Structure 1
Amino acid sequence: MLVACGGGSGAKPPPEAGKVSGTVTYDAVPAVKSEGLDYTATRSLPVRGAVVEAFSKTETLGSTVTDAQGKYSLVLPPGREIQIRVQARLLREGKEGAWSVAIRDNTKPGYTAVPTNAPIYAMESKPLSVPREGMLLDLHAASGWIGSNATGGYTGARAAAPFSVLDQVYGAMQRFLVVAPDLNFPHLDIYWSENNRSSEGEPENGDIGTSHFNPEGPAPGLYILGKADVDTDEYDTGVVVHEWGHYVEARISRSDSVGGQHGEGDKLDMRVAWGEGWGNGLAGIVRNDPLYVDTSGRNQQDSFFFDVSAPPAPPNDAAWYNEAAMQYFIYQLAQQPGGFETTLAILRNEQKHTPAFTSIFPFGAALAKRLADSAVIGNVNTLLASIGTPTLDELDDWGGPASYTIPAVPPALAKPYMRFDAPPAGTPATPQQVCVSNLLGEDYNKLDQGRFLRLEAPSAGTYRLSASLVSPPGFTSKAHIWLSRQGEPIQEDDDAVESVLEAGTYTAFLVDTVLSNGGDDDEDEDGGAAAPANTRVCYQVSFERISAGAL
């Protein structure tokens, strides 16, 4: 529980029996590129959309939410002894435009028992007696920082931090509702603590690794760093919106991203490039600020930044597998007339239901069908060409003519997908050679670490997708295969998967189990030696129907 700074102006509004009203604000600390957090430029901003309650020792006497200016008003029984509580919680119910967001402390005991019961941050007024003639009561969440940027420090409760995170989500949702007023946002828990640090371990101890969105498990939600003098993200507004963007993609659209480490110059799995580029680009769009600043270090005075409105430059490739290229495309598309509205419509429809994996390819294919203005079409084609991606008339969900170069000896050209059409039952399948490598990055989420397969099942039946190692000579490993349809997993296994399928299009992802553990310098997951750098492994892959019949 956080204590509100101040407690009220004491000024009296026009008389209304039992009315308690006021404004709720928080300290906003700007993140400055190349400089870190600038506490000397702190300003007071309204706490928007937050739940406000009046409570006594025995009951809650009334509740409301703050408006867009942070104002609230409650009519209460005169003479009652109460306190006003402002929760770091957004709640709006209804058939359209609904939301539910709570900022919780993952380092409190409640999280360990039931994560969704972790306490919600709140600030409270001092006890007061409701006057018959009404009163004004303002509440302010202070940052807790005293002193200069260089020599100051947190000396009080960091009451503003959870409200800063909350306000970024509120602002982002408002931007969405402008173009999609029917949109309902699924419930979201956001876990922030001043103990959350960039170390691996248990979230209840504050060991969250980095700020991230966890889509699964017993404690899904956003996890935000807060360890002072190490890495805090509550005022890094671009970081907060980026992570919220992952929530949007997963809950309102669809995300097939496998996550993992990513950074400048990386050649990424196209699903990761799209997802990370979406988060970065969205942060620029909804904040009306293309600068993404992430602060850290002593007194939060270190930072790195990038400009999502700028085209990718070396070491980043201007390509569909690069995060910087994707963020540039997403941000610049939103600057076109109707661009953000169209983006959101595609995410809620075509991208969500594409038979392919999520990437710029199905998004672009849908964009081609939706755009009608010739000037906008021309601008988008220019934009696509600038990031090494086929133009609207060339794109399909599977990438059209897109390709990438594998720096093998000799160099090899690969397309995003390999297609397998199953023959009739009883007819031998024609195998194809599928190769993967660590030539473009040793981590599992880098380009060419796995291959995307498009599978066509002509009729219902039992199908088998299998892979047998063919090279390099003497290399001991095995393939691992994930079989899916429209992002929904069907089966995964080593060497082969077998499943009863309806007629239609399916997807698979194939990796080599040794290569995909390339981030480990010692051993792979089965105890063998990790693959050396510059390794390319090839498999003979077959997709066949082994029995026919309706489901």
Structure 2
Amino acid sequence: MPNETGALLYAATTSKPVRGAAVDVLNGSTIVASTTTDGNGAYSVTVPPSTLLIVRVKAQMSQGGAGPSWDVTVRDNTNSNAIYAMETPAFSSGISASLVRDIHAPSGWGGSSYSAPRVAGPFALLDTVYTAQAKVLSVAPSTAFPLLRVFWSENNVPGGNNPAAGQIGTTFFSNATDGRAIYVLGKEGVDTDEYDASVVAHEWGHYYQSAFSRDDSPGGSHAMTDLLDRRVAFSEGWGNAWSGIALGRSNYTDSVGAGQASGSNVNLTAGLTSGAGWYREASIHSILWNLNSQVGFKAIHDTMTGSFKNGIAVTSIHPFAAAFYAAAPASASNLSALLAGQAINPAADPFGGSETNNGGVSTALPMYNQATPGATYSACVINQAGTGNKLGNFAYLRFTVPTARNYTISVSGASATDPDFVVYHGGQIAASDGLGSSESAVVALPAGESVLVIDDFNNTSQSTAASPSAQTPTCFTVTIQ
């Protein structure tokens, strides 16, 4: 249980039911009965009399059929991706009419460190997913959740890139070719996240975006003090807000360090009193958290899974607002006030054409420039707010083509640059990431409007240590023909 600083308080440990988990009753290696625990952690099966049995509970939730469905497993990425389980000692079923066998997952905490197997960890993770799913089911009871694997190990550490050895870098969501997954840190005394329900629910929020909505974020590091690219700010702000929405909490906590005795605690309600804007994850999470408090989750869910999902504009707070106004017009004033309170223009324009807050970054506005196929256009980026995924690192162009066919998109810059670009039309439809100062690709474009997003992969043309006034943009020549 986290305290007000986000640290774990082992003295305040409480037992919780293992909800929705798969239960097998075995005689040796033979399964004689199977069931699932209910919302209270209870289960009931019929077994043969006078038989030697064990009860095994797996860190797995599954339900098939035509109605709501899901398949979630918690696995050890450092042990051939095996599913975690716990089991009772062997016992005889006897000849009585009923028999009770409870099973408890101990934390393994010995008072100052972990001194026994950390059996409870995987089931804590499963419980957070159960809670997140339940929130969605409360407004969309027939939801079919795509397969999700959660990978956790007590060997999972920050840094590196070898999950089989526990080197996962950080707790994160992945939608790779092998399916949707959440990787969770677990290294004692460094960073453990199995009991940091806010962190796990945040990553499940990205799973939600991937499964039911849309997320155009390029990812990368982010902090509350950062001026972020619009896609990153919305994605991370959504994840923070969703954690509170799902868990019924107004704060976001994360433990870290020796004895898990340090941490952070973020008030999701507060937002920012200065420096607010569409480029701040704290602004976004405060808007979404307070919006949920005022109007409930259904309107937000309808927005995330509705026109926001397939719009032309990339994912950010402006297309969310436009989609929300359409999905929940009776609550439009609630969102407008929250946007204005965080220095975001509340107009119903997915492209943010009326936005006046540039965060002090020279190239941030207009949010989209217009490009004309067949003509030459200049697109500029700047590292004024930092590098990688920060405000100004990307240039956004809107363009319209009359017919569906192959078009050649070319972006070129000075010799020290390495331009890359992504094309969106209701989601990403093409990307280019070659080397050199000139980038060109043939893209099959549908008729109508699309968005071109350009960045400089090198991201070294301007020093982030320089004062903003001393920095000048790096510009590229763009053609679409």
Does the alignment reach a TM-score above 0.5?
yes
The partner residue of 2:88 within 118, 121, 125 is 125
Native 8 Å contact 1:481 1:496 kept in 2: no
Aligned to 2:35: 64
Aligned to 1:211: 171
Aligned to 1:378: 333
C-alpha separation between the residues in 2 aligned to 1:35 and 1:178? Answer: 28
SS at match of 2:287: helix
Aligned to 2:446: 502
Give runs of aligned pairs for residues 89-108 of structure 1, distance below 5 A. 89-108=60-79
Aligned to 1:14: none
Which amino acid in 1 is paired with 2:390? K
Native 8 Å contact 1:52 1:64 kept in 2: yes
Native 8 Å contact 1:36 1:295 kept in 2: yes
Aligned to 1:4: none
The partner residue of 1:400 within 348, 353, 366 is 353
Quote how far apart the aligned CAs of 1:519 are.
10
Quote how far apart the aligned CAs of 1:502 are.
3.0
TM-score normalised according to structure 1 size: 0.82
Aligned to 1:184: 144
Give runs of aligned pairs for residues 468-507 of structure 1, distance below 5 A. 468-469=412-413, 476-493=416-433, 494-507=438-451
Distance 1:439 1:136, change over 3 A: same
Native 8 Å contact 2:363 2:382 kept in 1: no
C-alpha separation between the residues in 1 aligned to 2:458 and 2:428? Answer: 25
Native 8 Å contact 1:33 1:303 kept in 2: no
C-alpha separation between the residues in 2 aligned to 1:468 and 1:93? Answer: 51
C-alpha separation between the residues in 2 aligned to 1:223 and 1:356? Answer: 30
Native 8 Å contact 1:390 1:400 kept in 2: no
Which amino acid in 2 is paired with 1:131? G
Which amino acid in 2 is paired with 1:441? G
2:292 matched to 1:334? Answer: yes
Q: Which runs of 5+ in 1 are unaligned?
A: 1-29, 111-117, 423-428, 522-532, 545-551
Native 8 Å contact 2:345 2:356 kept in 1: no
SS at match of 2:82: coil
Aligned to 2:246: 286
Native 8 Å contact 2:324 2:332 kept in 1: no
RMSD of aligned C-alpha atoms? 2.1
Aligned to 2:104: 140
Which amino acid in 2 is paired with 1:380? L
C-alpha separation between the residues in 1 aligned to 2:464 and 2:214? Answer: 30
TM-score normalised according to structure 2 size: 0.93
Which amino acid in 2 is paired with 1:292? Y
The partner residue of 1:263 within 208, 223, 244 is 223
Which amino acid in 2 is paired with 1:97? P
2:476 matched to 1:539? Answer: yes
Aligned to 1:323: 281
Quote how far apart the aligned CAs of 1:35 are.
5.9
Distance 1:222 1:412, change over 3 A: closer
Cα deviation code 1:433-479 (max 9, x no counterpart): 2110101112x111111112222111233323223337xxxx63242
The partner residue of 1:431 within 354, 359, 376 is 376
C-alpha separation between the residues in 2 aligned to 1:124 and 1:520? Answer: 55
Which amino acid in 2 is paired with 1:70? G
SS at match of 2:413: strand
Quote how far apart the aligned CAs of 1:353 are.
1.0
Aligned to 1:465: 409
Native 8 Å contact 1:449 1:516 kept in 2: no
Native 8 Å contact 2:310 2:426 kept in 1: yes
C-alpha separation between the residues in 2 aligned to 1:518 and 1:484? Answer: 27
Distance 1:518 1:218, change over 3 A: farther
Which amino acid in 1 is paired with 2:110? I
C-alpha separation between the residues in 2 aligned to 1:196 and 1:141? Answer: 20
SS at match of 1:273: helix
Cα deviation code 1:76-100 (max 9, x no counterpart): 1111211100001111122222111
Aligned to 1:445: 389
C-alpha separation between the residues in 2 aligned to 1:413 and 1:380? Answer: 23
Q: Which runs of 5+ in 2 are unaligned?
A: none
Native 8 Å contact 1:483 1:490 kept in 2: yes
Native 8 Å contact 1:92 1:100 kept in 2: yes
SS at match of 1:305: strand
Distance 1:34 1:518, change over 3 A: farther
C-alpha separation between the residues in 2 aligned to 1:417 and 1:263? Answer: 25
C-alpha separation between the residues in 2 aligned to 1:506 and 1:220? Answer: 27
Quote how far apart the aligned CAs of 1:320 are.
0.8
Distance 1:344 1:214, change over 3 A: same
Cα deviation code 1:103-129 (max 9, x no counterpart): 000001x2xxxxxxx211000000111
SS at match of 1:241: helix
Quote how far apart the aligned CAs of 1:491 are.
4.0
Distance 1:501 1:36, change over 3 A: closer
Aligned to 1:388: 343
